[in-house]
Amino acid sequence: MAEGQALPLGAFPPRPKPEIPPHAPVGLVFSPHPDDECVVGALPLRLLRQNSMRLVNIAVTLGSRPERRAPRHEELKNACHYIGFELELLAPDGLEKIHPAARTDDPAHWNRCVQIIAGLLARRRPRLIFFPHQADWHPTHIGTHFLVMDALKAQPAEFETLLIETEFWRPMAAPNLMVELSLDDAADLLAALSFHVGEVRRNPYHLRLPAWWLDNVRRGAELVGGPGAVAPDFLFATLYRARRWRNKQVQECFTGGQSIGASDSPAAAFGWSAD
């Protein structure tokens, strides 16, 4: 920790990015706050690097402190540029009041926000989307979950996509996907997270993230693999819940759980061709 805190923050040249074909499939990462794109970024990064998918970080909010929004936007742009994600803001200062109380108490505001997400989904036609699970503790994380789900319900019946729920503040009860992080990918995600300078100076959580990745292997061995399963030979991993949105409803896409090792193609795990 002491050595890590002495390292520079955000002082790294951009990482090489694969050439993305013009009509590459799109993955959207709905980030409640700037930095969530790095925290949950194991699978998005691997889809970008191994399968040349176009990964777009959707900045739902820029945080709750108005005076920090402009700096956080700059930090976010720098982090995405480093790691190779595209970036799209939903509003110049991010959306406001994205939490469960607003969904109940201010339906007019909530519906306006839902329509913004619904329009984005219709325009981008993503092959998969990442967003927090519905019990991820932080009100904005929970709000982002319901915002995306409400926007999905506004899509026509033929709209289909893969839903990848993420966790950070509170573990999911039933993840079904464990994704290994190579040492190189782990180092790059930590470096990208360090571009969020104001946040990690306040709390150096980037230095604690590897401990979380380690513990995810312990949890995922049996939560994903099943009780009594042999743990995969992973050092670092991130856990997700993968399901499908089809016929205007959520459907299961796996029988049991799946683990994606560092040498596996993420696209192949979902039955997609590598391109």
For residue 161, what pLDDT is reported? Answer: 98
What is the dihedral angle through the alpha carbons of 168, 177, 125, 111, rounded to the nearest 10 degrees? Answer: -40
pLDDT single digits (tens) 211-263: 999 999 999 999 999 999 998 999 999 999 999 999 999 999 988 899 999 99
Is 61 domain-assigned? Answer: yes
Cα torsion 120, 122, 128, 134: sign: positive
For residue 274, what pLDDT is reported? Answer: 53
pLDDT single digits (tens) 169-200: 999 999 999 999 999 999 999 999 999 999 99
Is 6 domain-assigned? Answer: no
Residue 5 banded pLDDT, cuts 50, 70, 90:
confident
Q: What is the reported pTM?
A: 0.96
Amino acid at position 167, single letter: E
Round to whole Å and give the CA distance between 65 and 148: 23
Is 42 domain-assigned? Answer: yes
Is 9 domain-assigned? Answer: no
Question: Residue 159 pLDDT more than 70?
Answer: yes
Round to whole Å and give the CA distance between 177 and 187: 21
Round to whole Å and give the CA distance between 83 and 142: 26
The phi and psi torsions of 170 (rounded to 5 degrees) equal -140, 130
State the total domains in the chain: 1
- 189 CB contacts (<8 Å, ≥6 apart)? 38, 41, 42, 45, 83, 181, 209
Domain span at residue 234?
A: 24-269
CA angle 239, 244, 245 (to 5 degrees): 130
Question: Residue 2 pLDDT more than 90?
Answer: no
Round to whole Å and give the CA distance between 110 and 115: 9
Is 217 domain-assigned? Answer: yes
DSSP string, the chain: -HHHHTS-SS--PPPP-PPPPTT--EEEEEESSTTHHHHT-HHHHHHHHHH--EEEEEE-B--S-HHHHHHHHHHHHHHHHHHT-EEEESSTTB-S--SHHHHHH-HHHHHHHHHHHHHHHHHH--SEEEEE-TT-SSHHHHHHHHHHHHHHHTS-TT--EEEEEE-SSS--SS--EEEEE-HHHHHHHHHHHTT-HHHHHH--GGGTHHHHHHHHHHHHHHHTT-TTPPPPS-SEEEEEEEEEEETTEEEE--SS-EEE-TTS-HHHHTT----
Question: Residue 275 pLDDT more than 80?
Answer: no
Q: How far is CA 211 from CA 80, 92, 218, 237, in A?
A: 23, 35, 11, 10
Is 60 domain-assigned? Answer: yes
pLDDT single digits (tens) 47-73: 999 999 999 999 999 998 999 999 999
Query: What is the mean pLDDT of the segment spanning 112-138?
Result: 98
Round to whole Å and give the CA distance between 262 and 275: 18
For residue 4, what pLDDT is reported? Answer: 86
Is 40 domain-assigned? Answer: yes
Residue 9 banded pLDDT, cuts 50, 70, 90:
very high
pLDDT single digits (tens) 83-113: 999 999 999 999 999 999 999 999 999 999 9
Question: Residue 3 pLDDT more than 70?
Answer: yes
Question: Residue 267 pLDDT more than 80?
Answer: yes
For residue 53, what pLDDT is reported? Answer: 96
Q: Do 217 and 231 contact (CB within 8 A), yes or no?
A: yes
Query: How many other CB atoms sit within 10 Å of the CB of residue 93?
Result: 14
Is 218 domain-assigned? Answer: yes
Supply the CATH number for residue 178's domain. 3.40.50.10320
